[in-house]
């Protein structure tokens, strides 16, 4: 059995309004920063116990798609950061 | 002049309570997933116009530290994803 540490980066799909990003961008531009395209997303990390990387990744994808993101509005990128022998 | 695209990963410092992560973990455990250590953070991406990478990184760090994070509660990791000639 091993412990696999995952990181999920969640972003809004193209065309979905990001009011938090727009408001932040407006403020930073007003402060004269040469900034553009500010976008807010979510970062979630978690550990999965599994026998091998394949099973861990399948579980991590299932959890992310079914419980962590909104598949209508959001895209996600799942990264396995490291594995730990337990 | 170039455009530099940055990604900031924002996480809570050690010892800072993450109720959203705890609640999510509890639900996923109740669903019998072998999951642990669920932690929520933020992901922010933005573009900076600058003459070179050094100036872009200085600006990105300044913006992140002063305006995007709460340095008492949060850590951040800044990554330059790519540069675009403009």
How many domains does chain A contain in total? 1
Q: Does residue A58 sit at the B interface (CB-CB below 8 Å)?
A: no
Q: Does residue A25 sit at the B interface (CB-CB below 8 Å)?
A: yes
CB contact under 8 A, B48 and A34: yes
**Burial state string for A54-86 with b = 16 or more CB within 10 A and e = fewer than 16:** eebbebbeebbeeebbeeeeeebebeeeebeee
CB contact under 8 A, B38 and A48: no
Q: Does residue B27 sit at the A interface (CB-CB below 8 Å)?
A: yes
The yes/no answer to whether this complex scores an ipTM above 0.90 is yes
What are the pLDDT digits (tens) for B44-70?
Answer: 999 999 999 999 999 999 999 999 999
What are the pLDDT digits (tens) for A39-81?
Answer: 999 999 999 999 999 999 999 999 999 999 999 999 999 999 9
The CATH number of the domain holding residue A29 is 3.30.1280.10
Which residues span the domain enclosing B65?
2-85
């Amino acid at each position: 059995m091993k412990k696999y540490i995952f990181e999920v980066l969640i972003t809004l799909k193209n065309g979905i309004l990001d009011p938090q990003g727009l408001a932040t961008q407006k403020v930073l531009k007003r402060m004269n920063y040469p900034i553009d395209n500010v976008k807010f997303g979510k970062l979630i990390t978690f550990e999965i116990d599994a026998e091998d990387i394949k099973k861990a990744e399948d579980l991590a994808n299932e959890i992310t798609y079914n419980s962590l993101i909104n598949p209508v509005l959001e895209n996600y990128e799942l990264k396995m950061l490291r594995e730990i022998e337990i």
